């Protein structure tokens, strides 16, 4: 298949839509972890130290005052920024009134902040909006916005540091804390499991009903292919009425066994969604 209209018609004709999304979608929405210019703007001290992009900070071991300086600014920018995302809103419009579900490795909650129902989402990698004990001494998690705001209030952009007294500790044991995202064996995911249960029920209903399903995979590459990319392929194989649309600027290739039931779109997510949206009107 070589015509974008085929992908648009698959989505327009589908009874149900499963959106599976990786980092490429949020990057296209303006939150690109490889953006060197934005990194220099937000983190001048780290830039002067030779670092060039946010992705270099993931998992980096830093003194707590620098660590929380970075995460306070980063999380405020990507998770608690109140501005709407035109791209995510356009994607919501593309899904329209069809029965849908979302599975995403992104931890920024840009889906729920732009019109997608939180009860129709599964986020296996976590949420920047929560934090947890690093031990962990409890399975409980807490809203992170208060501790992020406190760190920002004590952040000095001239040094890149947060005042030590503003670094939060576990409300239960007083130990170290971190954002509730998958970054180690300490990750607590209990509260995300109901979302997985709802997704599995929805997929079972899709199979039993015989409804056609468009799996729209966006920006899921090979950093963690077992989270989004490979499950999208497996679902396309397992559900007889499913078709996969893979939007990926650099890695749109498809397995041979899905040829004819999958459509590769080697393009930026924003460009692809705009094209599909413009074409979808022809099938309504």
Q: Where does 154-265 have alpha helices with state H?
A: 193-209, 229-238
Indicate whether 229 and 140 sit together in one domain: no
**What percentage of residues in the chain have a pLDDT greater than 70?**
98
CA 76 vs CA 56, 59, 79, 83, 192: distances in Å: 18, 18, 6, 12, 22
Indicate whether 70 and 202 sit together in one domain: no
Indicate whether 119 and 133 sit together in one domain: no
* Strands 262-265, 242-247: pairing kind: parallel
Among candidate residues 112, 146, 181, the one where a domain is terminated: 181
Indicate whether 72 and 133 sit together in one domain: yes
Indicate whether 158 and 278 sit together in one domain: no
The whole-number average pLDDT for the span 175-198 is 97
pLDDT, tens digit, 9 for 90 and up, residues 98-129: 999 999 999 999 999 999 999 999 999 999 99
In the chain, the number of structural domains is: 2
- Stretch among 1-15, 175-189, 238-252 having the lowest mean pLDDT: 1-15
Indicate whether 204 and 248 sit together in one domain: yes
Indicate whether 231 and 112 sit together in one domain: yes
pLDDT, tens digit, 9 for 90 and up, residues 159-172: 999 999 999 999 99
Indicate whether 49 and 177 sit together in one domain: yes
Instruction: Name the band, by pLDDT with cuts 50, 70 and 90, for residue 31.
Output: very high
Indicate whether 96 and 161 sit together in one domain: no
**CATH code, domain carrying 108:** 3.40.50.1220
pLDDT, tens digit, 9 for 90 and up, residues 62-73: 999 999 999 999
HEC letters along 36-90: HHHHHHHCHHHHHCCCCCHHHHCCCCCCHHHHHHHHHHHHHHHCCCCCCCHHHHH
What's the pLDDT at 72?
Answer: 98
What's the pLDDT at 283?
Answer: 44
What's the pLDDT at 1?
Answer: 41
Indicate whether 47 and 141 sit together in one domain: yes
The whole-number average pLDDT for the span 183-187 is 96
In which domain, by residue range, is 54 found?
Answer: 36-81+128-181
CA–CA distance, 258 with 4 (Å, rounded to integer): 17
- Stretch among 164-173, 190-199, 273-282 having the lowest mean pLDDT: 273-282
Instruction: Name the band, by pLDDT with cuts 50, 70 and 90, for residue 3.
Output: confident
Mean pLDDT of the chain: 95
Among candidate residues 160, 181, 202, the one where a domain is terminated: 181
Indicate whether 63 and 201 sit together in one domain: no
**CATH code, domain carrying 135:** 3.30.1600
Among candidate residues 137, 157, 181, the one where a domain is terminated: 181
Indicate whether 107 and 217 sit together in one domain: yes
pLDDT(225) > 70: yes
Find, among 181, 215, 188, the residue nearest to 108 by Cα. 181
What's the pLDDT at 165?
Answer: 96
């Amino acid at each position: 298949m070589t015509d974008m209209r085929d992908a648009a018609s698959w989505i327009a004709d589908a009874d149900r839509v499963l959106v599976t999304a990786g980092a490429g979608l949020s990057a296209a929405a303006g939150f690109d972890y490889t953006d060197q210019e934005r990194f220099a703007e937000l983190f001048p001290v780290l830039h002067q130290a030779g670092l060039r992009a946010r992705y270099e900070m993931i998992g980096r071991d830093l003194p707590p005052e620098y660590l929380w300086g970075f995460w306070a600014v980063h999380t405020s920018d990507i998770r608690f920024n109140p501005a709407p995302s035109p791209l995510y809103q356009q994607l919501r419009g593309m899904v329209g009134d069809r029965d849908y579900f979302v599975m995403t490795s992104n931890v920024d909650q840009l889906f729920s902040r732009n019109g997608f129902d939180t009860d129709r989402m599964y986020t296996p990698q976590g949420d920047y909006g929560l934090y947890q004990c690093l031990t962990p001494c409890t399975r409980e998690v807490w809203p992170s916005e208060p501790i992020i705001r406190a760190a920002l209030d004590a952040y000095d952009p001239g040094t890149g540091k947060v005042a030590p007294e503003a670094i939060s500790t576990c409300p239960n044991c007083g130990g170290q804390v971190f954002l509730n995202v998958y970054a180690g064996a300490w990750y607590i995911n209990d509260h995300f499991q109901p979302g997985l249960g709802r997704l599995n029920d929805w997929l079972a209903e899709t199979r039993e009903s015989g409804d056609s399903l468009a799996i729209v995979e966006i920006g899921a590459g090979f950093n963690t292919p077992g989270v989004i990319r490979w499950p999208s392929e497996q679902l396309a194989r397992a559900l007889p009425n499913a078709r996969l649309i893979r939007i990926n600027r650099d890695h749109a290739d498809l397995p041979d066994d899905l040829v004819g039931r999958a459509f590769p779109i080697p393009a930026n997510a924003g460009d692809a969604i705009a094209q599909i949206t413009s074409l979808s009107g022809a099938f309504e």
